[in-house]
Amino acid sequence: MRSQALKQVADLDIRLLRVFKTVVEAGSFAGAESALGITPSAISVHMSDLEARLGMRLCQRGRAGFALTDQGREVLRATETLLAAVEDFRGEINQLHRSLRGDLNVGLINNLVTEPRMQVTSALEFISRQSSEVRINLSMNTPSEIELGLMDGRMHVGVLPWIASLSGLEYRALYDEQSLLYCSERHPLFANASQASQHDLQAAATVAPNYPMSQQATALHQGLHCTATASNREAIAFLILSGQYIGFLPSHYAAAWVDKGQMAVLMPERMHFSVQLAIATRKGRRENQLLELFLTALEAQAGER
């Protein structure tokens, strides 16, 4: 048989090499019949095709039995190396599908860490435990910054007040967050906070958020004497603790100061509002295994509660 160079290895060559390896392991064409699921005559055709492709005789077959040629033994060695490499490649690709790796970029409004319904915290814990190759990038942002980050792709997911819906984003309700009106121990209303009247509140300097609020929150602030603004809840807390202002804070965030006697609630039966917090993602986003697992973990936590 005339030698010729093998210009490329095609799928057909790999299939024929698998037949060749099976025949060698079985010791004959007939012995390989059950393993390959084809007749000995079909196996003979495949072997002849392979020898023609490679341009060399691989084995002797006939009355004397089946035996590899010297070239056949070298081809068998190369075949085992090739098929092992193919199997390694398959395994690595499958491992990519099974293993979590990459970045998850999360944007949160501030002061959610004191929320007793720890859905976000638990979901972050779950993701972190899945793989050492996962990197979580967490940033504290205003609601508008989170929406912008989601729209331009810098963030994968955000947690923010669901005041209005942007057409390019998808929202999933997380939980309601209640806010109450507070003063600090340095404020004149603190000593008789439980007896404070509507007139007392309207006369007190109040800090108002300068970010979008719900209609209910806006209406309550409009009935107060707002003389200061703040960009986030922590800034509101700073001004309340100064003793010069009253202001609304999430009840879970203010609880630590209330427990220490450093803040008091003012007219909770009337001065309160709730905001729906939501998980937001971009519509039409590319498939992201980390993000989908994070969202699934959040839903699981919500179901448990």
Q: Within 13 A of 203's CA, how many CA atoms are on the CB side?
A: 8
- 111 compared with 272, residue with greater pLDDT: 272
Domain segments of the chain as ranges: 11-97, 102-175+276-304, 176-275
The pLDDT assigned to 97 comes to: 60
Alpha carbon distance 79, 83 (integer Å) = 6
Q: Could you report the per-residue pLDDT of 241-261, keeping only the tens digit for each?
A: 999 999 999 999 999 999 999
Q: Which of 200, 107, 117, 196 is nearest to 158 (CA)?
A: 107
Alpha carbon distance 146, 152 (integer Å) = 10
Q: Could you report the per-residue pLDDT of 201-226, keeping only the tens digit for each?
A: 999 999 999 988 999 999 999 999 99
Contact 150, 169 (CB under 8 A): yes
Interstrand relation of 205-209 and 102-108 (parallel, antiparallel or unpaired): unpaired
CATH class (in words) of the domain with range 102-175+276-304: alpha beta
CATH of span 176-275: 3.40.190.290
CATH of span 11-97: 1.10.10.10
Q: Which of 112, 116, 114, 117 is nearest to 305 (CA)?
A: 117
Q: How confident is the model at residue 95 (pLDDT cuts 50, 70, 90)?
A: low
Give me the residues paired with residue 280 across strands. Answer: 158, 171
Q: Does the pTM exceed 0.85? A: no
Q: Could you report the per-residue pLDDT of 276-289, keeping only the tens digit for each?
A: 999 999 998 877 88
Q: Could you report the per-residue pLDDT of 147-174, keeping only the tens digit for each?
A: 999 998 889 999 999 998 999 999 999 8
The pLDDT assigned to 6 comes to: 67
**Domain 176-275 in the same topology as domain 11-97:** no
